[in-house]
Amino acid sequence: MQESEPGITAILNALHDYQVEFIIVGGVCAVLHGTPVTTFDLDVVHSGSPENISRVLCVLEYLDAHYRGHPKKIRPDAESLGSQGHHLLITRFGPLDILGTIENGLGYTDLIGHTEDIQIENRTFRVLSLEYFIEIKEKSLFEKDRLRMSALKHTLNEREKIRKNEADQTV
């Protein structure tokens, strides 16, 4: 029996295969940096260029994505995806939040300089750097963000120790 691909990985692979320009943020960002947290959805900030929005629409159709909780299974359109708003969607693989901006109105062009490339199954994805993620979340008013802060900072400290040890060994 063949196992199916985990939901978040399937969504990421679809976004990658459709060549959508996006940055992974939120809980999956924290997990990819090694933070021991649980998350149930994938949060991404997408480029608002018309070409990218066209690709987003194609991948959303492939994923059978529609707004969560809406009885008529309405899908976002190009105009709404071009806004700074949040699109909280459900796909055939699970929840996907397509975000125009995150805290402080930061959009794709604001965030792209604060990303790292992470490999997942031979594909490269842009992920908000852990340092910048912490900087943003320190200002958050949401309790879930404040609760995660200790784990995020601990992960960053552990990564810095590993990097220092590796640097010391190469000298």
> Which domains does the chain show, CATH number per domain?
7-130 (3.30.460.40)
Between 16 and 70, the higher pLDDT residue: 16
What six digits make up the tokens of 9?
């990985």
- Provide the pLDDT for residue 5: 52
Segment 43-55 shows an average pLDDT of 97
pLDDT tens figures, 50-99? 999 999 999 999 999 999 988 899 999 999 999 999 999 999 999 999 99
pLDDT, tens digit, for every residue of 101-130?
998 899 999 999 999 999 998 999 999 999
Stretch 39-60: mean pLDDT: 96
Residue-averaged pLDDT of the chain: 91
> In the chain, pLDDT over 70 holds for what percent of residues?
96
Q: Where are the beta strands (DSSP E) in the chain?
A: 22-25, 42-46, 66-67, 86-91, 94-99, 101-102, 106-107, 115-120, 123-128
List strand residue ranges (DSSP E) for 50-161, in order.
Answer: 66-67, 86-91, 94-99, 101-102, 106-107, 115-120, 123-128
Q: What is the mean pLDDT of residues 151-157?
A: 88
End-to-end CA distance of the chain: 50
- Dihedral pair phi/psi, residue 25, rounded to 5°: -130, -175
pLDDT tops 80 at residue 134: yes
Which pair of tokens denotes residue 130?
Answer: 């852990």
Task: Return the SS3 of 92.
Answer: coil
Given a cut of 50, whether residue 2 has pLDDT beyond it is: no
User: Is the model's pLDDT at 3 over the cut of 50?
Assistant: no
More confident residue, 6 or 116: 116
Of 13-27, 82-96, 154-168, the poorest mean pLDDT is in 154-168
The pLDDT, as a whole number, for residue 15 is 98
Mean pLDDT on 33-44: 91
